[in-house]
A and B are shown apart, each in its own frame.
Chain A
């Protein structure tokens, strides 16, 4: 049951990751088109402004995928020396620290969006992008990351409580730094 939930979560996050990747590719194409246009004396203008928004949104939405793929780099010098139960404790502590921190980021992100809404803030650029329009998807990404991390933590906790250590390791363990980077 808990593994089914996690499996669905992984597949969903992979789809999100592909969408994020397409967004990045689109941004690269946009930048490239602007470079070419500049050579013929024209320009879209504002490519760097848009690249910034793409980076913020891509980053927040990619975080949860990196988590379900055990991609966030952890130093496991001590952990790798511990026994199976000890490793489980390390993983739960790490997941709890991560879930708590990301939840705090999501909570503290709300005032950023709220103030942009309250002031109808627009970027100080000729595009006059309404900031709420880009901050809303950015914040949603962090909320999704927080939700994903609590689900991962809960699944790992349930597995460990049932003594299924190797399954828990595949959910919340480390690949070590090596696989994180491949």
Chain B
């Protein structure tokens, strides 16, 4: 069955059939070949119960929030302000890409939205100032992945929803690893550009007065972050409700500091509907496939296989990490999470690992999957924002950052407290 799934997935994806539909087709195949029961009869109920879901409404809300920030011009101004502060380092404007991505991650629940936001505002600068296109675009693709680690995060909401773990605890657990990764990206960039200054473009030092003036441009985004996260930790709103707070906050802040018009809002909402539908077709397909897999006993098959290996908890975890790295090359990340969580997480907990900690480890691996070819959405988002150049340049540019992510995986396994101490301390 595992063989059927692997080849079926690659074959159908290769045919360029929409990803969500591929998941349904695989589910129909499992029903026809591996299950004696008429699973497809349950299709309608599955589709209804998957989409009748108050938790998932955070997805359109966070997407809309990002759309409003970009279309109101707030994103561009944030980028320019951060440029004043970080471009003195070796690597110059590349650091502004990472810093902007980190900043937007704190208001956006999605990595793809974060990368798209930063790429839209940053790309025009690369050619003008003569940066190495590889490193410059790689930093955006990798920095964008922080969107799902630094709270809020759609993927952590989905993880908490599927594993019955506390979403605010997951958010707290993601904060330190997220910031550590951002600093790691900055360090990697600086080291590379010290070794090969030609990659980094000009370092630019701005007068202090200008730097201080730039700070005021950061007020809107910090305000928005405070509203969203504050509403969760003050106990006013649940993490899903906080997404609604974020939408309202973004519109209000955009109206105050940028510009909001009826036509701009129309574009923002149709864009939101398009992206939400795209994501939901994948989520619903994954949920149907998961239903057929559970009925056909894949959990048992995998459990028997892993138990048969007789691994220690550590080697077991390393196998899991390896599995996610390999699957991450080929599978869209939200589907990867939805399909594997119900099978993998119980096994991991059974081995004595903390489910909150594992959620964070999984997010690092999912971040990696977002920038590994052939299926790495952030690569395509960044490439899409460039006017010229080859896809492979973006891929090469992300390699140093993938190295930083692997170090983070190792650090999380060696020191689980990196993720756990904050939620434990505030409990």
Please report A residues at the B interface, Cβ cutoff 8 Å: 14, 17-18, 20-22, 24-25, 27-29, 31-32, 35, 38-39, 47-49, 51-56, 58-60, 62-63, 65-66, 69, 71-79, 90-91, 93-94, 97-98, 101, 104-105, 108-112, 134-135, 138, 142, 174, 176-182
Does B80 touch A at the CB level, under 8 Å?
Answer: no
Residue of A nearest to B373 (CB): A77
Q: How far is the CA of A69 from the CA of B50 in the complex (A)?
A: 24
In the complex where A32-B244, A66-B278 touch, is A179 in contact with B384 (Cβ < 8 A)? yes
Contacts of B17 in A (CB 8 A): 74, 93-94, 97-98
Could you give, for residues 254-283 of chain B, a 1 whenever the CB lies within 8 Å of some chain A CB and a 0 otherwise?
Answer: 000000000000100111111111101110
Q: Which of A28, A49, A58, A62 contacts B247 (CB 8 A)?
A: A28
Residues of chain A with a CB closer than 8 A to B56's CB:
55
Interface of B is mostly: helix
Q: Is B156 positioned at the interface, with any CB of A under 8 Å from its CB?
A: no
B contact residues, total (Cβ < 8 Å): 63
Residue pair A24, B269 in contact (C-beta under 8 Å) = yes
Q: Confirm or deny: B380 has a beta carbon within 8 angstroms of a beta carbon on chain A.
A: yes
A55 and B53 form a contact (CB under 8 A): yes
Instruction: Please name 18 further chain A to chain B contacts, defined as beta carbons within 8 Å, in addition to the given A55-B57, A71-B275, sorted by A numbering.
Output: A14-B270, A20-B273, A25-B64, A32-B248, A48-B240, A51-B54, A59-B51, A62-B273, A66-B273, A66-B281, A73-B377, A75-B16, A91-B16, A109-B43, A110-B44, A134-B52, A138-B52, A180-B278
- A101→B21 contact, CB < 8 A: yes
Q: Is the CB of B273 within 8 A of A94?
A: no
Query: How near does chain A come to B17, taking the closest CB pair, in angstroms?
Result: 5
What is the minimal beta-carbon distance from A156 to any residue of chain B, in angstroms?
13
The 8 Å CB contact of A181, one of B237, B244, B275, B284, is: B275
Is B54 a contact partner of A48 (Cβ separation < 8 A)? yes
**Which residues of B sit under 8 angstroms from A69, Cβ to Cβ?**
274
User: Which among A54, A59, A105, A108 has the highest number of chain B CB atoms within 10 Å?
Assistant: A59
B47 within 8 A of A: yes
Closest 10 CB pairs of A and B: A178-B384, A21-B269, A62-B277, A48-B54, A177-B380, A108-B44, A66-B277, A31-B244, A108-B43, A51-B54
Report the bound CA distance from A181 to B44 in whole Å.
Answer: 28
Chain A: minimal CB distance from B371 (Å): 13
A90 to B14, CA, bound (A): 9
Q: Can you list 24 A-B pairs with a CB-CB distance of less than 8 A?
A: A14-B270, A17-B274, A21-B64, A25-B269, A35-B236, A47-B54, A52-B57, A55-B54, A55-B60, A56-B51, A58-B273, A59-B280, A66-B275, A91-B16, A93-B15, A97-B15, A98-B18, A108-B43, A108-B47, A109-B44, A112-B44, A178-B380, A179-B384, A182-B116
